[in-house]
Amino acid sequence: MLTKDLVIIGGGSAGLAAAIGAYDNGVRDILVIEKGPFLGGILNQCIHNGFGLTEFKEELTGPEFASRFIKQAEERGIECLLNSVVTNVTCDKVVTFVNKGGTTKIKAKAIVMAAGCYERSPGAISLPGDRPSGVINAGQAQLYLNEHGLMCGKRVFILGSGDIGLIMARRLTLEGAKVLGVAELCAWSNGLNRNMVQCLDDYNIPLYLSHTVTNVIGKSRLEKIVISKVDENNVPIEGTEKEFEVDTLILSVGLIPNNILMVKAGAEIARNNGCLVNDKLETSIPGIYSCGNVLHVHDLVDNVVEEAREAGKNAAKYILGNNEINLSSINTKAGEGIGYVVPARIVIGDDEKDATLKFRVRKPSKDVYILFEQNGKVLKKMFKPAIIPSEMEITKLSKELLVKGDELVIRMVKKEAK
Amino acid sequence: MEERDLICIVCPRGCHLHVDKDLNVTGNFCPRGAVYGKQEVTNPTRVVTSTVRIEGANLAMCPVKTKDPIPKGKIFEVMSSINSVKIVAPVHIGDVIIKDVAGTGVDVVSTRDMEKI
């Protein structure tokens, strides 16, 4: 069987950054396996700008950001296989992939999972009504338009106010389509503020908050959709229906980590379908790391590459035998008001001074404290004048503060309550 | 000039800006927010990103952008100019695709390396 020190699954921003992180920490025998015909992953179809403000201190488009990481990988001579699909990963780190050359198995010393995410489907949200052509996911419509020059329709409605939906509202408008509106189930937008302004407000596209699609009508092609207002339990309110004659309904209703390989490998899986990792981004299978959108969905690629480099660095430590073994760890817990926390565990007693914690709140909130508590004792307290679910929070916690045994709870409290 | 509340679009942070009658900007986290706030109430501008048809590459479209922001009112004029050109591979990041697009003084440049196949 072929052997490699490090196999990285996925050649997008996370996979490339992980490879670079591992190389810069001493590993040379690296293979990146990418299923598509290009490196750079989803960035290639994200032709809008706004990428790289943290990483490069300038505003780049997706393809420009990708090209810089592709160059960094090339400069290091990192081996990348294109058009190759990984079909299996085992807990003893054997990776199987398929390409034109057939099926190949590789035994790796360490693996980084960086396979990104996929879009939630119409079925997954129980979209009611017919299934004519013209109901399409936002990322799919973006790929058709930006790489192949194919428009998905002329009169468009968008369900879901995530960033891809907002970006596509503007993009389709610029290409001559009429975007009649965006409906969002939540009472708040799930996209970045700047995208609300420059994608919807700039083009007078209405946003219907607390609304959802309650009927899809069409025989072969979509003819009409119905939206309704929802109550606080997200139940449609009768009598609030609005009809739109459209040929296209775009869904931007969430992304799910593409983590099936790790499920099959037997790793412990979090509620979001990503792996449970410790603060070294190591999964429950020693030597297999996870980063980027396959771990949890990020809003900014700048955060993805930072996380992925860290995963690559830690994989390098593991490969080179510099990993402390038999250390204990504590669990983290998303308490009141917090949607999720990454990592799920923090290793105690290693040589890292800080643990990086990433989390999202459940609801937009103002004047709150975020508390980091162990056994009721507040270890860290952050004041936030405003905090929203669509922006991931990243903070460092000094590991010296942590004691063995008790779980670390992150919760949000109103300022008055404290 | 009327007072206005804006959301800064310079970066994903999305600061809530207030621009007063004398064009003083508050609420910005960084200096670029102050520049944006002033600009947005006097002469709003945007970077336009789109694609142009390309022949001889392994994809049908090459992504492009205006090298600098252009006046907001010129966006659709810029788009029709972008949609009227066809290019031939190879192109590289930064190659000028359209010079002085729609009389804005700004060039449209390629944002992806696309080799000839």
Co-location of A104 and A8 in the same domain: yes
Name chain A contacts of B111, Cβ cutoff 8 Å: 47, 61, 63-64
Which ranges of A120-227 does DSSP label H, i.e. alpha helix?
A: 138-148, 163-174, 193-195
Q: How much is the average pLDDT of B12-36? A: 89
Q: How much is the mean pLDDT over chain A?
A: 95
Co-location of A249 and A259 in the same domain: no
Contact A360, A338 (CB under 8 A): yes
Co-location of A183 and A279 in the same domain: no
Q: Mutating which of A61, A168, A207 best tests the B interface, going by the most B Cβ atoms within 10 A?
A: A61
Ramachandran area for residue B105 (φ above 0: left; ψ -120 to 50: alpha; else beta): left
Give every CB contact of residue A28 below 8 A, 6+ residues apart in sequence. A5
Residue in B with minimal Cα distance to A202: B72
Co-location of A336 and A406 in the same domain: yes
Q: Mutating which of A65, A69, A143, A147 best tests the B interface, going by the most B Cβ atoms within 10 A?
A: A147
Comparing C-alpha atoms, which of A186, A227, A326, A347 is closest to residue A277? A347
A391 pLDDT tier (thresholds 50, 70, 90) = confident
Comparing C-alpha atoms, which of A198, A247, A226, A190 is closest to residue A362? A190
A258 pLDDT tier (thresholds 50, 70, 90) = very high
Whether A193 has a pLDDT exceeding 90, the answer reads no
d(CA B115, CA A156): 34
Cβ distance B7 to A50 less than 8 Å, yes or no, reads: no
What share of residues in chain A are helix, strand, coil (percent, to 5)?
25, 35, 40
Q: What is the CATH number of the domain that holds A127?
A: 3.50.50.60
Co-location of A125 and A243 in the same domain: yes
Q: How much is the mean pLDDT over chain B?
A: 93
Nearest-CB residue to A67 (from B61, B76, B113): B113
d(CA B61, CA A127): 32
Co-location of A319 and A363 in the same domain: no
B15 pLDDT tier (thresholds 50, 70, 90) = confident
Cβ distance A63 to B61 less than 8 Å, yes or no, reads: no
Q: What is the pLDDT of residue A390?
A: 86
Look-up of token digits 């670390």: A408
Distance from CA of B22 to the nearest CA of A (A): 23
Q: What is the pLDDT of residue B93?
A: 98
Co-location of A197 and A267 in the same domain: no
Cβ distance A53 to B93 less than 8 Å, yes or no, reads: no
Comparing C-alpha atoms, which of A323, A331, A333, A346 is closest to residue A400? A346
Q: How much is the average pLDDT of A212-216? A: 97
Q: Mutating which of B17, B36, B61, B79 best tests the A interface, going by the most A Cβ atoms within 10 A?
A: B61
Q: Where are the beta strands (DSSP E) in A153-258?
A: 155-159, 178-184, 207-209, 211-217, 224-229, 242-244, 248-251, 255-257
Percent of chain A whose predicted confidence (pLDDT) is above 70? 99
Q: Which pairing describes strands A354-361 and A393-398: parallel, antiparallel, or unpaired?
A: antiparallel
Q: How much is the average pLDDT of A160-185? A: 96
Co-location of A17 and A111 in the same domain: yes
Distance from CA of A275 to the nearest CA of B (A): 27
Domain boundary among A235, A253, A271: A253
Contact A265, A288 (CB under 8 A): yes
* Segment A333-350, tens digit of pLDDT: 999 999 999 999 999 988
A303/B contact by beta carbon, under 8 A: no
Q: How far apart are the first and last CA of chain B?
A: 55
Beta bridge partners of A212: A228
Domain that holds residue A229: 121-253
A111 pLDDT tier (thresholds 50, 70, 90) = very high
Q: What is the pLDDT of residue A189?
A: 86
Nearest-CB residue to A197 (from B7, B59, B76): B7
pTM listed for this prediction: 0.94
* Segment A217-249, tens digit of pLDDT: 999 999 999 999 999 999 999 999 999 999 999
Q: What is the pLDDT of residue B90?
A: 98
Comparing C-alpha atoms, which of A291, A287, A289 is closest to residue A322? A287
Co-location of A216 and A127 in the same domain: yes
The total number of structural domains in chain A stands at 3
DSSP assignment of B52-104, as one string? EEEESSSSSEEEEEESS-EEGGGHHHHHHHHTT-EEES-B-TT-EEESSGGGS
Whether A418 has a pLDDT exceeding 50, the answer reads no
Q: How much is the average pLDDT of A126-131? A: 95
Name chain A contacts of B53, Cβ cutoff 8 Å: 149
Domain boundary among A323, A355, A381: A323
Name chain B contacts of A175, Cβ cutoff 8 Å: 50, 79, 83
Co-location of A159 and A242 in the same domain: yes
DSSP 3-state of A148: helix
Co-location of A166 and A226 in the same domain: yes
User: Which domains does chain B carry?
Assistant: 4-42 (no CATH), 49-110 (3.10.530.10)
Whether A385 has a pLDDT exceeding 90, the answer reads no
Secondary structure string (H, E, C) spanning A369-383: EEEEEECCEEEEEEE
Co-location of A48 and A22 in the same domain: yes
Q: B49 vs A188, which has greater pLDDT?
A: B49
Q: What is the pLDDT of residue A205?
A: 97
Q: How much is the average pLDDT of A253-278? A: 96
How far from the centroid of its chain's Cα atoms is residue B12's Cα?
16
